[in-house]
Structure 1
Amino acid sequence: MNNTLKVTVFAVALGMTFSAAYGIGTAADPITAPPAGSQHAPHQENTAMNHREQHPEKTSALPAGLQVSRDGYTLDLHTPRITAGRETSLRFAIKDESGKPVTDYTKTHDKELHLIVASHDLNTFRHLHPTRNADGTWSTPVELPAAGDYRVFADFTPAKPGATGLTLGADLAVAGAYQPRELPPQRATAETDGYTVTLSGNLVPGAMSEVTLSVAKDGKPVTDLEPYLGAYGHLVALRAGDLAYLHVHPEGEPGDAVTQPGPAITFMATAPTLGTYRLFLDFKHRDTVHTAAFTVHTGTTTAGTGSPGGHSHDGKGH
């Protein structure tokens, strides 16, 4: 994950190659048609989004989360298979080049490590904060509602001179009766837990752009958002088809005498390629973290929209 999350809407500044954002449609709710074949890309290895810039001399051109090993570090998933609907302890370790579990990390966004779990169809999303034992083993309880293929992303920074943030990804199989689900359609608003989140801005492949998410409840703007992971909003963007993890950076931070606690949260984002992306915004209000999800199609000028009713995705587990 990168430096700090900044508020106003989520943005993805990719020194890393990341960012998926929902472009909003034309005028009030303009929607840009998706490029041919973009919504149903071929099945590839899943990936996730990291919040930090990458050192070009130390990393490949691949977006974050596509590799289980990178820069001498490996995500060792001890629990590669679980059962749908059953709470299970998900266990893993980050190992260095010698195969030894890493036990020393630099905190980013208030945590040593952020764990993202997402289904390949991007209908289920979890942002978890596992605990680490003295031997370097991480664990967290997780219950996933539907069977299928999932991707686990570990976002962390080793406490080592010159170390940069990494996002490593590994596949997770969830057993049970499998029912394929379509990616939710593109819309400019998303409903979640009684809140309405509106997405505005353009997402342009290979170029940085601004996206803003505005939070309202009962038709009134929310102006008292609470800090969550060092910002008023936290954004994760995943590319449909391979789950490439995009880097997102919010503008401003709580206590900087400039950034307001809502209703708008702004991010700078860069999509690595044309395609379809799924954005997950976490925000905190009245001591509870909520997640709003959006599907976005990139283009030369992108318009994004969100998932309706807040029920087209499952984003529990903060």
Structure 2
Amino acid sequence: MNAIAKVGAFAGAVVALGGLGSAVGASVGPVGEPERPTHQKHAAGNSSQGGHGGHAGHAGHGAEKAPEATGLNVSQAGYTLDLVEDRPQRSTSATLRFRILGADHEPVTRFEAAHGKLLHLIVVRRDLATYEHLHPVMAADGTWSATADLAEAGTYRVFADFRPATETEGLTLGQDLFVAGPYEPETLPPAATTSTVSPYEVNLDGHLVAGQTSRLTLTVTRDGEAVTHLEPYLEAYGHLVALRDGDLAYLHVHPEGSPGDGRTEPGPEITFSAEVPSAATYRLFLDFKHGGEVRTAAITATAEAH
């Protein structure tokens, strides 16, 4: 079913995926062998109590025009996220297929790489209890595919973060997936400053203020010791996605500095400049790599009104 026709359809259980922000690099065509995605599935209960369309935040402080919410539309600026199947069966290795359609309703096949990938896909359940950051592979006809863990029933949101080769800015489009089965939404954990991803702990310093740049520093420790040799992941020491509780407005943020720039230390601190569109509750998902494995920490944060 065409994505435009699907906009009015809503049923049973729900699913969500998502993408990444600004794009850089050279225009590229179809990709070769599929990359088995690193599953970063996050359970809602691992944050302890305490104090990527989305584009990277800019360094600096002070009042600014509030950024627009992204990821809320299936179609924008002449592009449409078209899911081949929006009601997949429950599976730990469900195959997701989709296309990015242009204004002519034909699949787009040329994209600019962002952080080493042509397209980033975020899949979250609508209660924000699960999260996956995937990197799908595109076939010659413009159909993308990725393997996702959809073992639990519910409504999910799919976010595709990409930049067509003919555009100067990236887009984040979103559409729902529906996985049938018994489903009891989980309660969002309260605002916190610490998240445990055993044996790691991530501590948040800073707070969000709607409509202006907010500086957030996340510090990674392992068994109480500072992690000072984080490994580059997608050309950075960490990636942060913020989703607004309720409508799942999407914001992807990248850290200040980059590996190899001569001034950015590989931990334990990762500092981000983020802009959120409104005073609300947000779930922050931090991807970081250490010991050859990518892990995801999640923290609930409340944005103040400016």
Same fold, judged at TM 0.5 (above): yes
Taking structure 2 as the reference length, what is the TM-score of the superposition?
Answer: 0.79
Aligned equivalent of 1:266, options 245, 266, 271? 271
Write out the 4+ residue segments of structure 1 that deviate beyond 3 Å after TM superposition: none
Q: 2 CA distance for matches of 1:152 and 1:283? A: 21
Deviations 1:182-241 (A, max 9, x none): 011222111113100001102101111100100000110000000011100011110000
1:159 paired to 2:165? yes
Deviations 1:47-76 (A, max 9, x none): x862258xxxxxxx7411000011111000
1:126 paired to 2:132? yes
1:250 paired to 2:255? yes
Q: 2 CA distance for matches of 1:150 and 1:3? A: 25
Q: After TM superposition, list the pairs within 5 Å mapping 1:56-135 onto structure 2.
A: 62-135=68-141
- Unpaired runs of at least 5, structure 1: 5-28, 32-47, 54-60, 302-318
Deviations 1:130-161 (A, max 9, x none): 1110110000111223211110000001111x
The 3 A distance-change label for structure 1 pair 220 and 52 is closer
Aligned-pair CA distance for 1:84: 2.9
Aligned-pair CA distance for 1:253: 0.3
Structure number with the bigger relative contact order (C-alpha 8 A, sep ≥ 6) is 1
Partner of 1:225: 230
Q: 2 CA distance for matches of 1:222 and 1:163? A: 37
Aligned partners of 1:49 and 1:237 also within 8 Å? no
Q: 2 CA distance for matches of 1:121 and 1:242? A: 10
**Residue identity (%):** 53
Partner of 1:173: 178
SS of aligned partner of 2:147: strand
How many residues are treated as equivalent by the alignment? 253
SS of aligned partner of 2:150: coil
1:2 paired to 2:18? no
Q: After TM superposition, list the pairs within 5 Å mapping 1:181-200 onto structure 2.
A: 181-200=186-205
Aligned partners of 2:237 and 2:266 also within 8 Å? yes
Aligned partners of 2:53 and 2:171 also within 8 Å? no
Aligned partners of 1:2 and 1:248 also within 8 Å? no
Partner of 1:241: 246
Q: 2 CA distance for matches of 1:99 and 1:269? A: 34
Deviations 1:158-191 (A, max 9, x none): 111x431000000111111111210112221111
The 3 A distance-change label for structure 1 pair 136 and 30 is closer
Partner of 1:289: 294
Deviations 1:102-152 (A, max 9, x none): 111000011000000011100110100011101100001112232111100
Aligned equivalent of 2:149, options 140, 143, 157? 143
Aligned partners of 2:122 and 2:132 also within 8 Å? yes
Structure 2 letter corresponding to 1:168: L
Structure 2 letter corresponding to 1:180: P
Aligned partners of 2:157 and 2:176 also within 8 Å? yes
- Unpaired runs of at least 5, structure 2: 1-20, 25-48, 58-66
Q: 2 CA distance for matches of 1:88 and 1:182? A: 25
SS of aligned partner of 1:187: coil
